[in-house]
Amino acid sequence: MTTSILPLTRRALVDSWRGLLGWTLGMAAVVLLYVPLYSSFSGEDAGFEDVIKSLPEGLASTLGFQDLSSGAGYVQATAYGLMGFALIVIAATLWSSAAIAGDEESGSLELTLAHGISRSQVMLERSLAVIVRLVWLAAVVFILVMLLNEPSGVALEPANILAGTLALLGLGILSGSFGLAVGAITGRRAYASAAAAGIALFGYVLNSVANQSADVDWLHNFSPYYWAFGNTPLSDGADWGSLGLIYGISALVLVIGGVVFNRRDVSA
């Protein structure tokens, strides 16, 4: 049996530290580029509100730019809701599709499974390796926003920064769990990537459509993106029910993936 703690998770993390460094820099850049610019956008004389007002109504709401004048609204619209979301989803898609399906397609999963390790443990440890990396990216966001909070003038409550970051992380983990599970079920990297990116895109598009008019407002209910950010965690704090829903679905999807992975043939 395994003679040490989480050998596959440690291996995955050691193997991927270079890539993680790149993602860390990218995520840091998003926060460092957007948040300090708040002071130049905010206030009566900054004129940015006028720019937003001049945009067609649909476009502004599609991009989530309805409330750029408040610090929370600005950080939400830029660092969290747009670029941060995109980066964490792309990272989750790449990592989760590589974790099982990529390894199976390259042919190296077979040798791992031939050792004294169960499929469930492979699923658990590889999932953990993806989640740990996503938590790291979220931590980078949290720490940098905390540091820039006062100097940039966005003036967020630290607890709300945590709430918003947990929502962002939740979306990353949701994508990651879809990628991991579909990869574990099908063994195909393309399907895993499609599932991971697809669930994120689905949530984002549904949210944007629902923003367009009150007639389609009910569509918000089906959008994970709305669950995460619809209740404006950066200004109003955590909505634990929504977070529980996102994290709960992620866990459920991972369990389903693990169960099917346990039963199927692994291809050479």
Partner 1 sequence: MNYAIHTTALTKRFGSHTALDGMDLAVETGSVFGMIGPNGAGKTTTMRLLLDIIRPTSGRATVLGRSPLEGGAYLRTDIGYLPGELLLEGRVTGRSLLKHYAEISGHVPRGRIDELAERLGLDLTRHVRKLSKGNKQKLGLVQAFMHEPKLLVLDEPTSGLDPLMQQEFLSMVREAQHNGQTVFLSSHMLSEIQSAADQVAVLRNGKIVTVGDVASLRASAVRRVVIDFTDVSADHIRTTLVALPQLDDLTVVDGDIVQVTGTVEGHIDALVKAIAPFHVVDLRVEEQDLESSVINLYANEAKK
Determine which residue in the list 8, 31, 168, 192 makes contact with partner 1, applying CB under 8 A.
8
Choose which of 219, 245, 255, 266 interacts with partner 1 (CB under 8 A): 266
Q: Between residues 109 and 138, which has the closer beta carbon with respect to partner 1?
A: 109
- Tokens (6 digits) for 24: 């860390």
CB of 12 to partner 1, least distance (A): 10
2 binds partner 1 (CB under 8 A): yes
- Based on the shown chain and the rule CB under 8 A, indicate whether residue 7 belongs to the binding site for partner 1: yes
For 107-156, the DSSP string reads T-HHHHHTSS--HHHHHHHHHHHHHHHHHHHHHHHHHHHHHHHHHHT---
Binding mask of the shown chain, residues 14 to 33, with x at each position contacting partner 1 by CB under 8 A: xx--x---------------
- Pick the closest to residue 98 from 203, 201, 16 (CA basis): 16
C-beta of 89: minimal distance to partner 1 in Å?
Answer: 26
List the Cα angle 30/246/194 in 5-degree steps: 70
* Best CA proximity match to 200, nearest among 231, 230, 179, 221: 179
- CA nearest to 200, candidates 88, 59, 100: 88
Q: Using the rule CB under 8 A, is 118 a contact of partner 1? A: yes
214 binds partner 1 (CB under 8 A): no
Residues 87-116 that bind partner 1 (CB under 8 A): 106-108, 110-116
Compute the least distance from the CB of residue 4 to partner 1, in Å.
5
The secondary structure element, H or E, covering residue 50 is helix 48-54
